[in-house]
């Protein structure tokens, strides 16, 4: 790969969001959105196990919270971003935008 000669400080990029699926989960939950697990899986077109792993990584980083709801024998898991997660994701997006625009 040929170098463009442009360097940037990527220290503001958050490694938590490095995975495309983790990034997509946070993008889907931006704006105070709460989604049921199966809906999120359909929106992101991914396997349940992969989505569970992404959600667990985000939970470990305190970026999302999961709410379980049981109706009789039926159980649902609802996922939403935390305030910390929202702030971290916005900062990550801002850093990406600066890098992409050449301002970084």
**Which strand ranges, in their side-by-side order, compose the sheet holding 74-81?**
34-36, 74-81, 64-71
* More confidently predicted of 40 and 9: 40
User: Does 5 score more than 80 pLDDT?
Assistant: no
- Asked if residue 34 lies in contact with residue 78, where contact means CB atoms within 8 angstroms, the answer is yes
Mean pLDDT of the chain: 90
- Asked if residue 79 lies in contact with residue 34, where contact means CB atoms within 8 angstroms, the answer is yes
pLDDT tens-place string over residues 30-69: 989 999 999 999 999 999 999 999 999 999 999 999 999 9
User: Does 76 score more than 50 pLDDT?
Assistant: yes
């Amino acid at each position: 790969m040929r170098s463009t000669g442009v360097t940037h400080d990527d220290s503001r990029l958050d490694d938590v969001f490095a995975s495309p699926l983790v990034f997509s989960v946070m993008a889907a939950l931006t704006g105070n959105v709460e989604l049921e697990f199966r809906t999120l899986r359909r929106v992101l077109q991914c396997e349940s196990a992969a989505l569970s792993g992404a959600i667990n990584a985000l939970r470990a980083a305190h970026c999302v919270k999961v709410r379980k709801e049981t109706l009789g024998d039926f159980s649902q898991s609802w996922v939403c971003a935390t305030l910390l997660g929202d702030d971290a994701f916005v900062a990550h997006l801002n850093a990406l935008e600066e890098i992409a625009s050449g301002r970084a």
